[in-house]
Amino acid sequence: MQKICILLFFLVEVSPLVSVSYVKCLSEKIANTKTGEIAMKLQSDFYNEAHEKMIEEVEATISNTASYTGITRLSLKILKALEQVPRHLFVLPGDENYAYLNAPLSIGEGQTISQPFIVALMTELLDLQPEDNVLEIGTGSGYQAAILSQLAQKVYTIEVVDSLAQAAQKKLNKLGYGNIHVLKGDGRQGWAAHAPYNKIIVTAASENVPPKLLEQLSSNGTIVIPLGKPKDEQFLTLIYKDKEGNITQRTILSVRFVPFT
């Protein structure tokens, strides 16, 4: 039977971009049906390898910043959550090959999907428990919420940009994240209907902690939030509310976030 060779070009980022070619010789009879399967397999292998490399880089960055954060390594539950959530499904179409870089990416509307290291660090700082009720401010594409959903009982997330809120809810529903609920609204007001929250995470920089969020935080609850002016120095900050309602805070690390709008 005559053989033909199918040349598949799959563009991957190695930094700088390189084009890697894969050649597969198939019988002419099955070539047409197999081409798509081969391409999908190569793409899947690429994502899997890139995903693993991303997690390795996140772990290395956690170790390198331990003197600031006090966290020397990620817990196994955080690593598992990072492994379970496919980041390439939460970036803009066309950016999938960049999804597993340890870097923030634009998701449109002036917003970003956070750097995986920051996602992992903020999640680790929350110290989530299986029974926790969590509030997220700044849904974005839904990636952080998907990570949180692996670790907490319920996740309520607020997004101020209507198009992002709708897209995130649709995507999260499609992917089966049934314990995540999205609201289009002003994050500074929180989501009183489902309060109190054991943990609150804010993914945009604010000059102060919105009072409504402190009100909706339960006793012995934690907030992780970047504090600082949009174009000035910002610091990831850990807020703790004890059983008497007293508030304490600890500065963790210098960061750069989009402004809380």
Write out the two tokens for 219.
């006793």
- Grouping H, G, I as helix, E, B as strand and the rest as coil, residue 201 is strand
Diameter of the chain by CA atoms? 80
What backbone torsions phi and psi does residue 29 show, to the nearest 5 degrees? -65, -35
Between helix 116-126 and helix 76-84 the angle, nearest 10°, is: 140
Q: Are 148 and 182 in contact (CB under 8 A)?
A: no
Q: Using alpha carbons only, give the angle 203, 204, 209 rounded to the nearest 5 degrees.
A: 95
DSSP state of 51: H
- Catalytic residue, candidates 19, 63, 114, 206: 114
CA distance 187 to 61: 30
Is 114 marked active-site?
A: yes
Kindly give the pairing relationship between strand 111-113 and strand 197-202. unpaired
**Cis amide linkage into residue 86, ω under 30° from 0:** no
Give the strand pairing for 154-159 and 105-108. unpaired
CA distance 184 to 160: 5
List active site positions.
114
